[in-house]
Amino acid sequence: MTAAVESAGYARLDALWRRGREFLGCEYAILCGAMSWVSEHDLVAAISEAGGFGVLAAAAMPPEQLEAEIAATRNLTAKPFGVNLVTLHPLFDSLVDVCTRLEVGTVVLAGGLPAGTTIKRLKDAGVRVVCFAPALPVARRLVRSGADALIIEGREAGGHVGPSTTAVLMQEILPHIRDVPVFVAGGIGRGEGIVACLELGASGCQLGTKFACARESRAHPRFKKALIDAAARDTSVSPQLDSRLKVVPVRALSNRAMTEFVGVQQELLSQFEAGKITAADAQESIEYYWAGRLRRAVVGGDIENGSVMCGQSVGLVSDEQTVAEIIEELVEQAVTTIDGRRAEIGT
C-alpha cells in the first residue's frame, strides 16, 4: 500500500470518501454486506481490522447468538463494526434490545421499511441507524424519520434484490440526498467501480460477494469454489408466478434450488387458492425456503440443492484472498484509476 499512500490519487480518494469513512469511523469507506451464515465474527473483525467496516448478519440469529457474536467480534477487534437487523425477524424487538444494551455503534436495518419508532428507539440509545432505500421517495422518508445514513442497492446484488439497477439508483438518489451519507451496493467488485460511485456522490461502497470468498469467511469450500468458478451470466433472479403472492426476488447462481422454487410457488398458490393459507403465510414459507437453502449451501456445501446467493460481481472474483489483500487490492485499483485520469489531463 506504500506506493498508493504516496500517490496524489490516494489523497483524492481519501477526499472522495472522507464523509463515509468519518461516519463509519474506519480508514476506508468499504462496508461488507451482511450475508447470513457468512458475516460472522471472524470475517467481520478481519474487515474492520483491515480498515473497512464489517457488519454482522443477524437475520438467522436468535438474540443469544447475536449477543455471543458481538462479544466474539469485540474479542478480535477494537475497531468499529455494525450489526444488520432484518425488520421481519420474528424476534426483531429482542434483537434491537441486544444492540442497545450492548451499545452497538451502528445498526443497519434491512428487510422492509423500518418504523419511525424503531429508528427513534435506536437513536435514543446512541446507535447510528443506516437504512436501505430502494427509491428516492423512500430515501427522503427515511431521512425525515431520522436515518443517519442510507444504502442504495441495485439489482446486480446477491440475495434479495429490488427492481432497479445500481446505475439507475445512483442517478435517481445521489443528486437529491445530501443531508446524510449514502453508500452504494450491487455489482461492485473492483476499485474502478468504487471510484465511479464516489465521483457520482456516494460516500462509500458496500461489497458482499468478494468478501464471501475471503480466507476468513466461514463459507464452505465448495460454496467459495462455486463463486470463484462462476461468471456474471451464471446468476439469475427468482421469478414471481402470480401477483397475488408477492415474491421478493433473489439473485443466486442458477441451479436446482432456483428451478425447484417454481414448484414451491405453484404449490403455495394452490393452497392459497383453496383457502388453506393466506398470502402472508405463503410469503413466510418462501422466506423459510430461501433461508434453509442458503444455509444448505453456505454451511453444508450443497451447491446444487442449496441457494448459492451472490451478486453479478461474482465474475470479478478469481481466487480466495485474505480480507487484507482484498481491501488493499480495491484501494490500489481505485488509486491507479484516479492517477491515470490525472495523467491523461496533465494535472
What pLDDT, in 10s, does the model give residues 21-73? 999 999 999 999 999 999 999 999 999 999 999 999 999 999 999 999 999 99
* CB 210 within 8 Å of CB 189: yes
What pLDDT, in 10s, does the model give residues 136-172? 999 999 999 999 999 999 999 999 999 999 999 999 9
Given a cut of 90, whether residue 175 has pLDDT beyond it is yes
What pLDDT, in 10s, does the model give residues 200-215? 999 999 999 999 999 9
| pLDDT at site 41 | 98
Given a cut of 60, whether residue 4 has pLDDT beyond it is no
Q: What percent of the chain has pLDDT over 90?
A: 90
Q: What angle do CA 9, 12, 14 make, to 5 degrees?
A: 110
| pLDDT at site 341 | 78
Strands 235-237 and 250-253: antiparallel
| pLDDT at site 345 | 66
The span from the CA of 288 to the CA of 43, in Å, is: 25
Looking at residues 222-234, what average pLDDT do you find?
A: 98
Looking at residues 275-292, what average pLDDT do you find?
A: 92
C-alpha distances (whole Å) from 300 to each of 190, 275, 293, 311 are 29, 36, 10, 20
Given a cut of 60, whether residue 1 has pLDDT beyond it is no
Domains, the chain, ordered by start:
2-217+318-339 (3.20.20.70), 231-298 (no CATH)
Given a cut of 90, whether residue 338 has pLDDT beyond it is yes
| pLDDT at site 346 | 64
Q: Which residue has the cell 461474482?
A: 314
What pLDDT, in 10s, does the model give residues 181-203? 999 999 999 999 999 999 999 99
Given a cut of 70, whether residue 5 has pLDDT beyond it is no
What pLDDT, in 10s, does the model give residues 92-131? 999 999 999 999 999 999 988 999 999 999 999 999 999 9
| pLDDT at site 283 | 86
The span from the CA of 331 to the CA of 193, in Å, is: 11
Looking at residues 312-325, what average pLDDT do you find?
A: 97
| pLDDT at site 189 | 97
Mean pLDDT rounded to a whole number for the chain: 95
| pLDDT at site 7 | 80
Closest CA to 55 of 122, 115, 10, 110: 110
Q: What percent of the chain has pLDDT over 70?
A: 97
